[in-house]
Amino acid sequence: MTKIDVLNIGDIVTDAFIKLKDEYGRVEEAADGKRLSLPFSTKIPFDHAEVLDAVGNSANTAVNFAKLGLKSSFVTNVGDDQAGRDMVVALTKNGVDTRFVKANAGKNSNYHYVLWYGDERTILIKHEQYDYHWPTFRPDELPEWVYFSSISEGALEYHDAVADWLEAHPTIKMAFQPGTFQLLAGKERLARIYQRTQVLAVNFEEAQQILDNRTRDIHELFNGLHALGPNTVVITDGPAGSYASDGENRFKMPIYPDPAPPVERTGCGDAYTSTFVAALIKGYPLEGALQWAPITPTNVVQHVGAQAGLLDEETLKEWLAKAPDWYKAERI
């Protein structure tokens, strides 16, 4: 049996992208942030639709790890419907090991709708309720790394099973990119997951949410997140770049220059973090991983969806070789 480099954990989904016409939508400021406004109680023409199988945070990372030459496997749930079968086929075509994908009898697969307006998107989500059970692994199936991300709010006890397994296998390293429901569960409920995390990856707002701290001081955020247990913390901040800390060394990294205006931004965080972790797995130091990480999302935003723009290692290195002199990590 082929040794697993990265075992990805999380939900999988089909995304139906609906490209809205600019003239029928409007982005408005509201007290709780920006809102997409559309005409009410009428028929609205749209530009086109695209259906993407086998996506979602952990599905995207599973495909990216495979693209970068790592043995990537996936623990996830699908329904016993055509959408679920299509997901397994898509994963297999992308080089992902699907032996731990569970088909749930009598259940539908996750199917989300993406309202694509300009270069941004609003996603209508519904996580199906599955019977989450952590699989049994033979000794030759144990992975080097685990990558854990977005999963249904009905899977809280599943986190306990993952934590039990990780604690029983202390040599396995875990990257944790918390999804919406994992953030809402709170750091206290997921304390064992945070304590067992090697790499925690969040954006600036998520870091503030986890700590219930609205500070803009990056060092205060790093200190708070490290105190939860993670050895390495990565915080992305959109166009402002990203930051990483291993507890002793802290760096700021600019974004890679866009070759053209973005087409659509789905999957940037997945591409960034999984590329960062892939670099660590391949032996690169923190600074090297920070140089790798922004390149893949730069190409991802030139395509629709989170996977079409993923780069293999050779192409990624070609992009890095063409980077401007200022594209490097600076100690903070």
77-86 pLDDT, tens digit each: 999 999 999 9
Q: How many domains does the chain have?
A: 1
The domain that holds 268 is classified in CATH as 3.40.1190.20
Are 270 and 64 within 8 A, CB to CB? yes
Q: Is residue 44 situated within a structural domain?
A: no
| pLDDT for residue 1 | 53
Whether residue 75 has pLDDT greater than 60: yes
| pLDDT tier for residue 305 given thresholds of 50, 70 and 90 | confident
Percent over 90 (pLDDT), the chain:
90
| pLDDT for residue 190 | 98
| pLDDT for residue 15 | 93
Q: What's the angle, vertex CA 309, arms to CA 13 and CA 294, rounded to 5?
A: 105
Burial 76-115 (b: 16+ CB within 10 A, else e): bbbbebebbebbbebbeebebbbebbebbeebebbbbebb
Q: Is residue 17 situated within a structural domain?
A: no
| pLDDT tier for residue 26 given thresholds of 50, 70 and 90 | very high
Average pLDDT, the chain: 95
Q: Is residue 80 situated within a structural domain?
A: yes
Q: Is residue 23 situated within a structural domain?
A: no
164-197 pLDDT, tens digit each: 999 999 999 999 999 999 999 999 999 999 999 9
Q: Is residue 36 situated within a structural domain?
A: no
| pLDDT tier for residue 275 given thresholds of 50, 70 and 90 | very high
Total number of residues shown for the chain:
332
Domain interval for residue 267: 6-12+55-108+130-331
Report the candidate in 32, 256, 237, 25 with the shortest Cα–Cα distance to residue 119. Answer: 25
| pLDDT for residue 265 | 84
- Averaged pLDDT for residues 224-231: 98
Q: Is residue 285 situated within a structural domain?
A: yes
User: What one-character DSSP code corresponds to residue 155?
Assistant: G
Q: Is residue 244 situated within a structural domain?
A: yes
Whether residue 3 has pLDDT greater than 70: yes
Q: Is residue 318 situated within a structural domain?
A: yes
Are 201 and 175 within 8 A, CB to CB? yes
| pLDDT for residue 32 | 85
| pLDDT for residue 264 | 84
- Averaged pLDDT for residues 137-143: 94
